[in-house]
Amino acid sequence: MLLHRILIADDDPEILAGAVDLLSMSGREVLTASDGQEALDTLQLGGLHLALLDLHMPRQSGLDIFQHVRERNITIPCLFWSGEATDTTAQWLLDEGAAGFLRKPVKPSELRACVAKTLEQHWGLAS
């Protein structure tokens, strides 16, 4: 069975730990980053199926990471989540090619469903 590799980048340790626990239970390998630069470093290693990015993080924002991915034609869907983004920002991200946007706090069932749907749409990977 193919192990899905997901990067979760968030500067809130409690949110990060909760998301890791939730997505790991679904049989996925989860890598983490607590700031944007760490997320970029992890992305450059390759082999990821999905990036779940907080919009506002130290050292690089989720938007900075998204622009990096697009400029370098890295094939990875990017999901965003934030408790602070406006509807305009969320829509702009979707218009620019983000795989999805979740507003924090996110229900566990909503996160699992969004991740599963994104993996299926972009990679044909059933969860």
27 or 19: which carries more pLDDT confidence? 19
Q: What percent of the chain has pLDDT over 90?
A: 87
124 or 115: which carries more pLDDT confidence? 115
CB atoms within 10 A of CB 56: 14
pLDDT tens for each residue of 46-103 = 999 999 999 999 999 999 999 999 999 989 999 999 998 889 999 999 999 999 999 9
Burial profile 80-91: b = 16 or more Cβ within 10 angstroms, e = fewer? bbbeebeeeebe
Q: Is the pLDDT of residue 127 over 60?
A: no
Least Cα distance to 33 among 85, 25, 103, 48 occurs for 48
Q: Is the pLDDT of residue 125 over 80?
A: no
Q: How many domains does the chain fold into? A: 1
Record the pTM. 0.93
Exposure of 65 by Cβ count < 10 A (0-12 exposed, 13-18 middle, 19+ buried)?
Answer: buried
The predicted pLDDT at position 86 comes to 87
The predicted pLDDT at position 126 comes to 60
d(CA 6, CA 90): 21
Q: What is the mean pLDDT of residues 4-30?
A: 94
The predicted pLDDT at position 30 comes to 97
Q: Which structural domain range is residue 108 located in?
A: 4-123
Query: Domain holding 10: CATH number?
Result: 3.40.50.2300
Q: Which two tokens stand for residue 7?
A: 């990067």
